[in-house]
Structure 1
Amino acid sequence: MHDKREEELGQIRIERPFYEHKQLREDFQYEKPKRPNAAREWKENLRIKKVFIGFFPILDWLGKYNWKKDLFYDIISGITVAIMHIPQGMAYAMLGNVAPVVGIYMAFFPVLIYLFFGTSRHNSLGTFSVACLMTGKAVIQHSDPAYFDSSGNSSDTEPTGYSPIQVATAVTFVVAIVHFIMFVLRLGIVSALLSETLVSGFTTGAAIQVLVSQIKDLLGLSIPRFKGYFVNVYTLVAVFEEIGNVNVAALIISFVTITISALNNDYLKPIIAKRSPFPFPMELVAVVVGTLVSKYCNLSEQYGVNVVGYIAVGLPSPAPPPFALLSDVIVDGITIAIVSYTITLSMALIFAQKLDYEVDANQEAFAMSLSNFFGSFFSCMPVCTSLSRSLIQQVVGGVTQLASVVSCLLLLVVLLWIGPFFEQLPKAVLASVIVVALKGMLRQVLEFWKFWKLSKMDAVVWMGTFLTVAFVSIDIGLLCGICLSLASIFILSFRPYTCLLGQVKDTDFYLDVKRYKSAKEIDGIKIFHYSGGINFATKTIFKDDLIRLVGINPQKEVVYRAKLAKYLEMAEETKPPTKTLNKLERVQNKVNTDLRCLVLDFSSVSYIDPSGVTMLKSTIESFTKLDIPVYIASCKEPVYEMLTKCDPEYCSKAGFRSFPSVHDAVHYSTELFRSSSKSSITTVRL
């Protein structure tokens, strides 16, 4: 029965008259779509309920929350994420060149704001290595050097300029402003500028930046902090110059911490994952054990190991960022805003697709704007979604952002009472935690070969972004990556796919004759397929490819035919010279008499501008002078409207003959050939 049904489907035929585009519009009542009424749409969007739920997504999912079923999983998820926040927050705060406790602040204040305004139910906001490193660059650039000694620790010299946390909060405030502008202007689509290739190269290069920045703490070296471009290069040179002064105790601590953490990630964690949904908190264990060993062995005084130092107890007092500094950090703020928003939105979309709920890109920008704005008054750096924490929050069973409430409550206990416990924590332990966390990002180097195999252009974008980020600067690297991505799009637009189409026998399929052996060209008809836009920049490419594939240059063909007529007239003489006969033969070989009709398949033409229309008109007229009619097929409505709009008078005289499909154009041409063979004057009814 099934085979019979397939046989019947294979024999279905659709019979209809062939149409020209004008006739199609008349017969099927074409009407140009009206633009939406902006006032009515705005009024619709301003409905109180819609606005309230739109600005406070928590009201949407909280009303559907299953307190008996979901609360337990959110509590477990919140506890797990809070345990991850402590070591990661302290470690990544070091990347920002601010006090370790700032990382805990970032996991508390902004997260509470995101709870109410964010649309993702699984994003774990807080510290992220790339965002913190980019902020740290601005901190070093604009804070008073007196706040740091040569080793990067707090200095005893009385500073007079901006403190590191003031610079960090100024950057956070700028990031909040940029996110708010993105929300107002509905620029959530700006994240599309950061392709998968660019993000991979950027994050891999940033991982190299992070790794190099931690070498001094891993080895216990005292080297200056560098500003500007090529910081990694200068840092590596300084490390090699000071390599003889390595602190052996710090090196041992780093080696032990990295080794145990790596073994845990590669061997112990998979085993535990099979038996328990809760990951083993190796990072927290390393931090606690490192603190205890440092405290009771007095590593700081006896062996000169750098430790975290003073940690403030309680919550920070609200204070506005230094507004006079905003203009100086605006470039850093814009760069961090784009990167943090892209990473946050990408993670939100991944979880939304996986768990079947919706995420609003513009509302995410608004949520991040408020989170950073609030955080800038409470000693926070710009926040970003962490890939690892978000994944853990979802895998452990977290259902909604109520898990963040549980996490914040536990972190509040740390801020109020437990914080001073970590004052003797060696910086080498935190540096080791960062390095182990970079493994996944560093392994992205292997993705270069994947991009190389898929597209050489993507590989160039990846490598250019990676090298610039890793060795020049993060912000310059991001700009370089965006420019390379846009350049690749621009270059690819100059390489449109063009081919000649042939018909598959007894079907209305028209396929590339070079790719499909069953597709054969129709005698006397050339079907030229063009994929891309036809504009002022690509019009020459369109014309050159058309002439190359069709095999006729109308300008030269006119000259050849004129010469042929001249030599034929001379050949009619009695006994024409041999020289004339030779010229006649050569010109006859150049003249193309096989082509009787040219069909332009516009099914993949996305856009045409006035320059393209002018070129097309000129091309059609040049072929028409050779008695070769040119028909346009499968033209999109916006393209057809542009053709008729640019030259209405020409179109009214049937200048652009357009058909809704290639088959219609071919059918019309063959009927025309058949009729013209019977009579010199024939009317073909559409």
Structure 2
Amino acid sequence: MGNADFMNGESTHRAAVPPPQPFLKSLQNAVKETLFPDDPLRQFKNQPPGRKLILGLQYLFPILEWGPRYSLDFFKSDLVSGITIASLAIPQGISYAKLANLPPILGLYSSFVPPLVYAIMGSSRDLAVGTVAVASLLTASMLGREVNAAENPALYLHLAFTATFFAGVFEAALGIVRLGFIVDFLSHATIVGFMAGAATVVCLQQLKAVLGLDHFTHETDVVSVMRSVFSQTHQWRWESAVLGGCFLFYLLLARYFSKRKPWLFWISAMAPLTTVILGSLLVFLTHAEKHGVEVIGHLKKGLNPPSIMDLAFGSPFLSTAIKTGIVTGVIALAEGIAVGRSFAMFKNYNIDGNKEMIAFGMMNIVGSCTSCYLTTGPFSRSAVNFNAGCKTAVSNIVMAFAVMLTLLFLTPLFHYTPIVVLASIIIAAMLGLIDYEAAIHLWKVDKFDFFVCVSAYVGVVFGSVEIGLVIAVALSLLRVLLFIARPRTLALGNIPDTNIYRNVDQYPDTRNVPGLLILEIDAPIYFANSSYLRERLSRWIDEEEDKLKSSGDSNLQFLILDMSAVGNVDTSGISMLQEVKKNIDRRGLKLALANPGAEVMKKLNKAKFIEAIGQEWIFLTVGEAVGACNSWLHTYKPKPATDHETEKWSNNV
């Protein structure tokens, strides 16, 4: 190129081709970056065997890491937190078990064993383990289609244990093989809409208890529920409705005061247990159970009986249990990890998502063998744990022992607990999941995310929980695919008095460079977008040439592609670039590349594309590419008398 390498006495830097790397080494690095981005084995390097064993045990069981440093001051805080969340876990556990069409005692069983497992294996200090409403609703919805819980309670119970087992296996497997990124496909917008829709459905389902109805639809969509409610107006029981309304008002009032005054968090935390006590006393003293107010009835005393022999591996409904386990497991993971990361951010520590998956998986596997159904880290309980000042996972151990004492000695006290009180507790908890402020924020920031959120909500409320989830995930994936298949190509211009080139739409005061078309490709180039990019680049060139002709400016001479955002390119992308090169050659133009990455350079070099365009036309920055192109025009192209603009520009580079 001769003098084109030098402008104003300064050399132009060239993008270098990285040294060749063996295929197996490249594959190893790619797998490591995909599955082990956090490099969990780095702490084992250069350690003696004994130390590696200790570090390995601490990695699997984090309690061995922080346990030796545990202090009495920590225990005081964890004791208060544990007792506080136990007061919430007991009524919520009973309520959510009823929501899942399971015996209420299972809610207490599920608040005893799983928290102990998580305290040993979990890495979050703030997560409070227990059952959740959405997973309970999913269990009832998916299993209830195949087996009626009222007609065949034993089979339904066994399928629930089996679904919990497979949920645990699936969660643990994701963590072991480091596939936690799969959960990331549930975007924030998806979760907001899905949770709000599920909360709405759960609230509607509680109308059965609030109105004292004996028969109710097994469907979850709003149309079926409303039809079931208003077709039985003659069976509505005002006693039950008044009782439920009063307790719901009390729960919402307690939450209101707790939000206004954060130091009064204990009022909201104790409110569910208070409603259970007051409701039970009211029914006991007035004999309201004889006047249409349904009560829980007998709860047997004693700790969790083993259920490993109840796992229905030979059942004809095994596929339903597996599907239920996988769906509920994914939802539980998404909620638990999101909650854990949120509170970890407040306290400035990190949690390992894959370790959390293993912990969730193990606690559900153990839980399925000890008469528990699906558990995770619910937001409401974890928020109470956080606000109560917990220091470590010992708060889960304290909660578990409080539940253990309840199972051993206090279960007869729940005999007169009204079902409508449990419904009020569920409704109050679910209203907190309808985050309309987040939806408004999505509308302001990103309309497509808002559309995903609303689609998930509508799918859940008017279809089913599964339909809503599928719609939301499908739309999120569609957005990713659209971003890949239709990447943006941006025209760049020069910011005056600088050597910086930016999007002309974002910076209207940028100046076009005479004779040059500078485009930025805003995504990797793959088979999915190569055809689109070829056509889009050709259209950019046509439009630029037409604009120059109509304005009488100098002809287009160069196409500069800014490859800064092109992280990778496949063979289809290379073929596209070769076709673009042929197209601009036919037009009498030249092609220059700016800042292609190492992976892109390696593949272009192997495909001999660099040889085709010339190493001298590949630059580190757009500014250097523009300088070289203008120097070439100034040195080698004959200048018309009217072409003073290009010469002036070249002298300023």
Give the TM-score of the pair, scaled to structure 2: 0.87
Q: Deviations over 1:205-249 (max 9, x none)?
A: 10111011110100101114425xx65432321111101211121
Which amino acid in the other structure matches residue 265 of structure 1? R
After superposition, where does 1:526-545 map in structure 2 within 5 Å? 526-545=517-536
Which residue in the other structure is 2:123 paired with? 119
SS of the equivalent of 1:220 reads coil
Q: Is the 8 A contact 1:109 1:375 kept in 2?
A: yes
Q: Deviations over 1:172-202 (max 9, x none)?
A: 1111111122123211111110100000010
Which residue in the other structure is 1:663 paired with? 623
Q: Is the 8 A contact 2:217 2:228 kept in 1?
A: no
Q: Deviations over 1:511-549 (max 9, x none)?
A: 223332432112222211221132223223323332333
Does 1:253 find its partner at 2:269? no
SS of the equivalent of 2:139 reads helix
Instruction: Give the Cα separation in 2 of the matches to 1:350 and 1:15.
Output: 55
Which amino acid in the other structure matches residue 401 of structure 1? A
2:564 to 596, 603, 609: 603
SS of the equivalent of 1:324 reads coil
User: How far apart are residue 636 of structure 1 and its match?
Assistant: 1.3
Instruction: Give the Cα separation in 2 of the matches to 1:129 and 1:276.
Output: 21
* Cα distance change, pair 465–432 in 1 and its aligned pair in 2 (3 A): same
Instruction: Give the Cα separation in 2 of the matches to 1:216 and 1:41.
Output: 50
Instruction: Give the Cα separation in 1 of the matches to 2:58 and 2:41.
Output: 16
Which residue in the other structure is 1:406 paired with? 398
Which residue in the other structure is 2:650 paired with? none
Q: Is the 8 A contact 1:77 1:397 kept in 2?
A: yes
Q: Is the 8 A contact 2:87 2:269 kept in 1?
A: no
Instruction: Give the Cα separation in 2 of the matches to 1:328 and 1:629.
Output: 61
Q: Is the 8 A contact 1:223 1:239 kept in 2?
A: no
Q: Deviations over 1:18-50 (max 9, x none)?
A: 0232xx45xxx8575955699999895893222
Which residue in the other structure is 2:114 paired with? 110
Instruction: Give the Cα separation in 1 of the matches to 2:65 and 2:13.
Output: 51
Does 1:281 find its partner at 2:256? no
After superposition, where does 1:164-313 map in structure 2 within 5 Å? 164-226=156-218, 231-267=221-257, 269-270=258-259, 273-274=262-263, 281-301=270-290, 303-313=291-301
Which residue in the other structure is 2:409 paired with? 417
Does 1:59 find its partner at 2:64? yes
Which residue in the other structure is 2:36 paired with? none
Instruction: Give the Cα separation in 2 of the matches to 1:77 and 1:278.
Output: 13
Does 1:18 find its partner at 2:12? yes
SS of the equivalent of 2:527 reads coil
Which stretch of the first structure deviates more once superposed, 201-210 or 432-441?
432-441
SS of the equivalent of 2:84 reads helix
Which residue in the other structure is 2:610 paired with? 651
User: How far apart are residue 270 of structure 1 and its match?
Assistant: 4.8
Which residue in the other structure is 1:615 paired with? 576
Which amino acid in the other structure matches residue 518 of structure 1? D
Q: Deviations over 1:626-671 (max 9, x none)?
A: 33111111111111222222x22x5334457321111221111122
User: How far apart are residue 100 of structure 1 and its match?
Assistant: 1.5
Q: Deviations over 1:451-474 (max 9, x none)?
A: 233223212211221111122221
User: How far apart are residue 106 of structure 1 and its match?
Assistant: 0.8
Instruction: Give the Cα separation in 2 of the matches to 1:390 and 1:596.
Output: 63
1:471 to 453, 462, 469: 462
Which residue in the other structure is 2:632 paired with? 672
Which amino acid in the other structure matches residue 344 of structure 2? A
Which stretch of the first structure deviates more once superposed, 590-599 or 311-320?
590-599
* Cα distance change, pair 424–137 in 1 and its aligned pair in 2 (3 A): same
Which residue in the other structure is 2:539 paired with? 548
Which amino acid in the other structure matches residue 261 of structure 1? L
After superposition, where does 1:70-89 map in structure 2 within 5 Å? 70-89=74-93
Instruction: Give the Cα separation in 2 of the matches to 1:76 and 1:278.
Output: 14
Q: Is the 8 A contact 1:208 1:470 kept in 2?
A: yes
2:590 to 629, 633, 644: 629
Q: Deviations over 1:556-590 (max 9, x none)?
A: x9xxxxxxxxxxxxxxxxxxxxxxxxxxxxxx879
1:340 to 332, 339, 357: 332
Higher relative contact order (CA 8 A, sep 6+): 2
Q: Is the 8 A contact 1:250 1:305 kept in 2?
A: yes
Which stretch of the first structure deviates more once superposed, 103-112 or 230-239?
230-239
Instruction: Give the Cα separation in 2 of the matches to 1:477 and 1:217.
Output: 25
User: How far apart are residue 450 of structure 1 and its match?
Assistant: 2.9
SS of the equivalent of 2:522 reads strand
1:451 to 427, 442, 448: 442
User: How far apart are residue 509 of structure 1 and its match?
Assistant: 0.3
Which stretch of the first structure deviates more once superposed, 410-419 or 598-607?
598-607
Which residue in the other structure is 2:648 paired with? none
Which amino acid in the other structure matches residue 49 of structure 1? I
Does 1:100 find its partner at 2:100? no
* Cα distance change, pair 15–439 in 1 and its aligned pair in 2 (3 A): farther
1:315 to 303, 317, 322: 303
* Cα distance change, pair 256–610 in 1 and its aligned pair in 2 (3 A): same
User: How far apart are residue 508 of structure 1 and its match?
Assistant: 1.4
Instruction: Give the Cα separation in 1 of the matches to 2:40 and 2:344.
Output: 27
SS of the equivalent of 1:543 reads helix
Instruction: Give the Cα separation in 2 of the matches to 1:248 and 1:277.
Output: 32
User: How far apart are residue 418 of structure 1 and its match?
Assistant: 0.6
Which amino acid in the other structure matches residue 542 of structure 1? L
SS of the equivalent of 2:314 reads helix
* Cα distance change, pair 42–86 in 1 and its aligned pair in 2 (3 A): closer
Which residue in the other structure is 1:141 paired with? 145
Instruction: Give the Cα separation in 2 of the matches to 1:406 and 1:358.
Output: 24
Instruction: Give the Cα separation in 1 of the matches to 2:120 and 2:429.
Output: 30
SS of the equivalent of 1:607 reads coil
SS of the equivalent of 1:532 reads coil
Q: Is the 8 A contact 1:123 1:390 kept in 2?
A: yes
Q: Deviations over 1:266-298 (max 9, x none)?
A: 24x357644687756111111001111111211
Q: Is the 8 A contact 1:528 1:550 kept in 2?
A: no
* Cα distance change, pair 273–196 in 1 and its aligned pair in 2 (3 A): closer
- Aligned CA-pair RMSD: 2.9
Q: Is the 8 A contact 1:206 1:469 kept in 2?
A: yes
SS of the equivalent of 1:500 reads strand
Instruction: Give the Cα separation in 2 of the matches to 1:292 and 1:412.
Output: 23
Which residue in the other structure is 2:132 paired with? 128
Q: Is the 8 A contact 2:94 2:422 kept in 1?
A: yes
Q: Is the 8 A contact 2:212 2:237 kept in 1?
A: yes
Q: Deviations over 1:572-611 (max 9, x none)?
A: xxxxxxxxxxxxxxxx879996112221111122332212
Instruction: Give the Cα separation in 2 of the matches to 1:317 and 1:424.
Output: 24
* Cα distance change, pair 364–673 in 1 and its aligned pair in 2 (3 A): same
Instruction: Give the Cα separation in 2 of the matches to 1:313 and 1:643.
Output: 72
Which amino acid in the other structure matches residue 609 of structure 1? D
Q: Is the 8 A contact 2:143 2:324 kept in 1?
A: no
Does 1:68 find its partner at 2:72? yes
